[in-house]
Amino acid sequence: MYNIVYIPGDGIGPEVVNAAKRVVDATGVQCNWQEAHAGLATFERTGDPLPEETLAAIRGADASLKGPTATASGGGFRSVNVALRQKLQLYANFRPARTIPGIKSRYDDIDLIVIRENTEGLYSGLEHTVVPGVVESLRVISAKASERIAKFAFDTARRQGRKRVTCVHKANILKLSDGLFLDCCRKVAADYSDIEFDDCIVDAAAMKLVIDPNQFDMLVMENLFGDILSDLTSGLVGGLGVTPSANVGDDAAVFEAVHGTAPDIAGKGLANPTALIQSAVLMLRFLGEKDAADRVDGAIRTVMAEGKRITGDLGGTASTTEFTDAVVAAL
């Protein structure tokens, strides 16, 4: 029996979270589901978008499944996602991009992974006004965090049978900060002689991904570059609505959909739960439930390939419930 925290989030969050829970339960994996809260609705109700009891619940769980969360208009509070990653030291973001049969894209057989450092860079949130009209933001890169994310990438590559890890950087311009990140990746790579290592400047990597994404296998990079390129790779296989995400630390793991809250369709039964169900697949693998994860992954791919019960964003007419029913049936 696994203790799993689930965070419904905002907008379509409760609908896609319920769909993912249904699918996990249908595998036969025994989960004790514990509800926790975060996001805009939580902020409006309690004055805190990320209550301490939610953090404590995540720390005490085997894993957590999170729906999308909104931010107050005009600011109001920092991103819940960023706060979660920093407060829980979820230092590794894992974003696979894999072709799904039945979803149109410009390329076939894409299968790559973006590993993103989750706690530093410009997302450290260290910025201030120098003088009126001039704002300074500090981009923090440390050897400790850089070596830690590089080791996570190589360990993941070895575990998944990947052949090559590419460090994406801008060390030609940011010679100290990205220079440090690249040096740390090279240092770690020396301990993994079974895995090829190379590096690529970030703008060149973006161009190469668009020209031919099969040039890459696994990419590791700092926070902002990872945020941008992981969305780019998601776009290569159908968009944020079908791609999963995992945030992993030494003491906690949160699996989430990275798409928005889509308030315009919230509560209408139109949301596509694929991204969060795929994130639940990553969660099952994290828990060691490989067979259940493979079955869910296969069920999603079967439903997508048939194309009969897919949601409107993918050109179909199925509701959230109808799509989920089809995935459960395919199990």
Q: Of 50, 54, 101, 53, which Cα lies nearest the Cα of 77?
A: 50
Catalytic annotation, pick one of 10, 199, 227, 297: 227
Largest CA distance in the chain: 61
Phi-psi region of 75 (alpha: psi -120 to 50; beta: other; left: phi over 0): left
Give yes or no: 48 in active site: no
CA-based torsion, 248, 311, 9, 123: positive or negative = positive
Residue pair 39/79 in contact by the 8 Å Cβ criterion: no
Q: Where are the alpha helices (DSSP H) in 51-98?
A: 52-60, 80-87
Instruction: Spot the catalytic one: 25, 191, 203, 250.
Output: 203
DSSP code at position 189: H
Q: Which of 66, 151, 170, 297 is catalytic?
A: 170
* 91 catalytic per annotation: no
- The residue from 183, 217, 231, 313 that is catalytic is 231
Q: Look up 144 and say whether it is catalytic.
A: no
Query: Would you say the C-alpha torsion 49, 53, 58, 64 has a positive or negative sign?
Result: negative
Catalytic residue status for 217:
no
CA distances (Å), 9 to each of 25, 42, 76, 122, 201, in order? 20, 8, 17, 25, 36
Give the C-alpha separation, 253 to 100, whole Å: 25
Which one of 21, 66, 123, 151 is the catalytic residue? Answer: 123
Residues with catalytic roles: 123, 170, 203, 227, 231
